[in-house]
A and B are shown apart, each in its own frame.
Chain A
Amino acid sequence: MRNTSADKHPMFNRRNLFGATAAGLAASSLAACATSGGDGDGQEVTVGDDAENPFDVDPKAPLDVVIFDGGFGNEYAVAHQAIYKEAFPDAEITHLATQAIAETQQPRFAEGKPADVLDNSGAQQIPMDALVSDGELAELTPLLEAPSFDDPNVTVLDTLRDGVLKAGTFNGKVYALNYVFNAWTIWYDAKLFRDQGWTPPTTWDEMLALCPQIQAAGIAPWTYAGQHPVYLYDMFLMLAGRHGGVQVLKDIDNLKDGAWGHESVVLAAEAMHGLGSAGYLLDGSAGIDHIQSQTSFNNNEAAFLPCGSWLPNEQKAIAPEGFEYAPMGVPPLEGSVQPGLISAGGDEPFVVPKNATNLAGAYEYLRIMLSKEGSQIFSDAVQATTVVKGVELENETAKMTDALVSNPDDMFQPQFRYWYTKMNEEVRPALGQLINAETTPEEFIARMQTVADETAADDTIEKFTHED
């Protein structure tokens, strides 16, 4: 919907020239902003030889950091800033922790005076596709090419786990560092399964066969955070991807013609629909939030719960005695060609605005975050792993997750949700309707194909594709 007629009417193509000609319209401060910020051309950060200070940070330059104050809190960021302060004692650091990222930070982007480092996460994140197509973000290439904090002979890129940059990559350019390593899995209580003598299912059919037994024990087979159907996104797509191979999902992301009509996608939609129509969802699931769904899972009211790796940490204060959080990949459909496929990689995107005042400092800050010490600080604080290699957690659940993500070829994060806000806004309600059997699988497929086609046909939306 953005910019719809601009291409048809070249006379309106005056991007950035507007400030000079708009005097007629109001005493416009908007006009002023069009010329203020500049486009950051004057500022180019290159990687120098000094391994201690590869970006040639001005030691006196202040650093402006904005942290999303969500499930991970912001104490870890304060600790990261202390390390920065150690290296540059004269730098004044502004630290803002907030949940309202869009409300507080969007005006600053518009102003041309954004923060230096922005943890663009949470429900109120600024849409990445808008930031990227507006050219508001700096590429992270200098950071990745720089020597790592701990070993000058190893670049930052080489300290990262495989495949974790994919999530922040837009048409081959890395714009976001997704700091936290996360895998979307299906969770169950290993103790409950042991006590009941149930075997964790390895296929969808096994799962379906187990459901009546679970129900017989007075437990609902499935629950999910019905108010946030986004929790179903990776489950559904992995079901399709495992069946037809990762290419099925890449085609969806690439807006390929008829991608949603692929047999594997249809089968996955039918499988999701089947959970609802067979009555395998906990009563009330559609009306509860993630906290409630996790609580009923903790109470063994439901056997399976789709969620991310953060689940055990989130529940640690209220987990019942003896509860054993165990993750598994979504049980694959019969005939799956890539049954190990898993949605895993980076999460929690940190970005550096192109117009950041202290661009070099921002890169340096991210380099500190990716150091062994910085990464350890984060893991110790929130019991979650970062995307840095070799700083892993030593508990049973973390080991089980690691086993699921051992093969880099099987790691894939579906991207259309991040690339195209419009599709994100459509897939969430559509999945909620599907799993509750309020729509048929055919209607669901048609609905998603329609929005994909609309997105593909809309010239005003910048397109992204997977490289391979």
Chain B
Amino acid sequence: MDTALTTLFLGTTRGAVFALVAMGLVLVWRGAGIVNFAQMGQAMFSTYIASSLIISGHGYWFAFATALIAGALLGALVDVAVMRPLTKRSHSGILASESMRATVPVIASLGILGILQSLAGMLWAAEERGFPSPVSDVAVKAFGKTAPFTNFDLFIIIVVLLTLAATTLFFTKTGMGLAMRATALNPEVARLSGIRIGRVRTLSWAISGVASSLAGLLITPSANLSPNTLDLILIVGFTAAVVGGLESLPGSVVGGFILGLLIAVVNVYDAPDDVFLALLIFLLVVLIVKPGGLFGSKRVRNV
């Protein structure tokens, strides 16, 4: 019983972080039609910035805020410097065919990942370093019993829930959120009704950058920080986004929690080595049984 409860809590905290990653992926996919494989590279970079600030004597919260801002700027930079020039050329030469238009941005994002990882390696050395958590990492005690989760787990869940609430409010209650939804739905119509879709796209890259940097800050205390550590989180986040349908923000959050539980179960009841095998089987089953994901709409191809 205790093992089951521990698994449940482990799955929920990890799942909360995966939900953030998946949300970041979905935001860019909806906004720009690109799956950003460099996303966790950006998160790694901003987490390193936070780590350096803490090492040089600044407080945790200052570093935390700086990392989120850096994540937003980095996201916007990727869009303006790489993806915009790419989409501008998308109707000429090798990019003219539909399959290559889907393929080339993937390659470009892998290039960004390589650049960010090499830069991080050059700037901050290759050895792994730890990253502090803002609250104590001991198990919560209540009514004389030890709960199966720590203060930091609670902190993660609260931060993620606040972020989800803020994102929901942003998309439903603000003009900019409405503009983003319109652009995701139909860029052409959105442009005709006066929305500057270029800016809206850059904004979705920036918000995605914040979400993934937040995920980086929340996951690194339980793992070590190195240029490659967050790659595996991206894969899990991608699977979560596909489970949720890649189109739907609530779907990505649900997908994140499902993946968190799946991985916790494999970790606790089987062996950690099998996590990616389980991930592959799960992904294939979802893609074969329900290719549109749990929340996705049916895909229609226009001729």
Q: Do they bind each other? A: no
Binding site for A on B (CB under 8 A): none
Binding site for B on A (CB under 8 A): none
